[in-house]
Amino acid sequence: MTAANGVTGTRNTGGSPEGKPPGWKVVLALISLSLTALLWLNGLISSLNRPSVGNDLNRRQLELTVLAEPQLRGLLKPLLSGNQPQQELQKALEQEHIRALEQGKAVGADVELEQALLAKHIAPEEATRRLTALAEQTGVEAEVARALLETPSERNADQLRELIAPLPQGGLLRVWSCEALGGGSSCELGRIAERAALQLVLVTVLPFALLLLGSATLVRELWMQWRGKTMRAPVLQGPELNGVDVVLLVAGGFVVVGELLTPLLVAPLLTAVLNGLAVVSPLRDGITVVSLYLTLMAGPLLILALLLKGQENGVLQFRWRPPLNSLQAAAKGFLMVLPLVSLVGWLQTHLWGEGGGSNPLLELVLNSHNIPALLCFGFTAVVLAPLFEETLFRGALLPAMGRRFGATAGVLISAVVFAIAHLSLGELLPLLVLGVGLGWLRWNGGKLGSCVLMHALWNGLTFANLVVLGW
């Protein structure tokens, strides 16, 4: 990189980037780096045994397709439902059944009941066998199975509602159970099919439209770059942090203090408080997630504040104003990175399959129907995570690495650390591409605020997709 593409900053107390840091800082940095390497390696390996939300997402979308099929007309029907949605759902359920057996786990009662109800639609001879096996278990699914095996009798609407009430409202299990038990008009098949069709449009048509728009935006940007019609990237500015400072911030603050020590100290206290207040899940999960993330942020941000002591205000380059410009830059970066992340994710799935589990928060959002809990999850994912992670990775790490190795290397290094920090082998490559996109925006636009907004847009789209699929 030329000097014009370097990094500027202000004086850093405790040793400049060029000066020799105190010995105690070096020792502390080496210890933190060693612990981080062990923790991250263990986390990445452990992610291989963590369940992936991708399977649940695929199943939910197929269930929506089956529910919505009666309401789909014209071109929407072949585009959204395909030719044989029930057969596709049957294959997905069989694969889930096989995965559970291969992992030595019990097959979920919901999967068994859904397979039995599906057999009534496609292969009736299978239904009795599956229902008989399920009826020997316990739980609401077993109760429904026993009711289906009984001699048909008159059931009033109140009795039927009480039986199927624990099943997910508006879900395929509840609708088919109601229909099979003779619920008639009380099953509200028409209304549920209309809602399922709307959900299906929201999770397929709108993302596809964004993907097309993003592809066009990316092609246009590349064309403008090739023609030399884009503005030259400004000088990459940021705080003056040397290599030891960065290690102390990311390894010592984010990993050792934030991810290791803080949860050990805070989690028992939080559990005691929630037990004392008699808070139960799913609200308990929401409060736990937002509380632990807030405490995770505290240590690294305090260390960053100490490292920035003596440097001028605004050194992190948030530069929110004018807000419209920041939002436009964020939207452009979001659209451009969307097709790239989607392509990498698709290639990874088709070439290597599922490489590891996904973030447990995704599963919580997908399966939660509690609005206060969802608000906690949403606040964490759309507000706290973008603000904290961009401050750390694009606000501090990227400029520090850019000063030492050049802006391009700074973008790449910050993206690699960002991807590994999420501790998911299955999401490593897509997160790496997302990190490069966020780093490019930070370098090209010179505003950390735009990166925060772009990150929030990305998490917001993921969060909204999960809520729509799970609701």
Q: How confident is the model at residue 2 (pLDDT cuts 50, 70, 90)?
A: very low
Q: What is the pLDDT of residue 353?
A: 67
- The whole-number average pLDDT for the span 411-417 is 97
Give me 196's structure tokens: 């399922």
- The whole-number average pLDDT for the span 87-98 is 82
Rounded to an integer, what distance in angstroms lies between the CA atom of residue 222 and that of residue 230? Answer: 10
Question: Is the predicted pLDDT of residue 367 greater than 70, yes or no?
Answer: yes
Please write down the long-range contacts of 429-433, taking CB distance under 8 Å and 24 or more positions apart. Answer: 429/344, 429/345, 429/348, 430/341, 430/344, 430/345, 430/348, 432/344, 433/337, 433/340, 433/341, 433/344
**Residues 318, 19 contacting (CB under 8 angstroms):** no
Question: Is the predicted pLDDT of residue 252 greater than 70, yes or no?
Answer: yes
- The whole-number average pLDDT for the span 402-406 is 91
- State whether residue 7 is helix, strand or coil: strand
Pairing verdict, β 7-8 and 236-237:
parallel
Q: What is the pLDDT of residue 291?
A: 95
Q: What is the pLDDT of residue 354?
A: 62
Q: What is the pLDDT of residue 156?
A: 66
Cβ neighbours of residue 84 under 8 Å, at least 6 residues apart? Answer: none
Using the CB atoms, write b or e for 370-400: b if 16+ within 10 Å. eeebbebbbbbbbebbbbbbbbbbbbbbbbb
Select the more confidently predicted residue: 132 or 286: 286
φ, ψ of residue 175 to 5 degrees: the values are -65, -50
pTM equals 0.89
Mean pLDDT of the chain: 86
Q: How confident is the model at residue 3 (pLDDT cuts 50, 70, 90)?
A: very low
Share of the chain above pLDDT 70, in %: 92
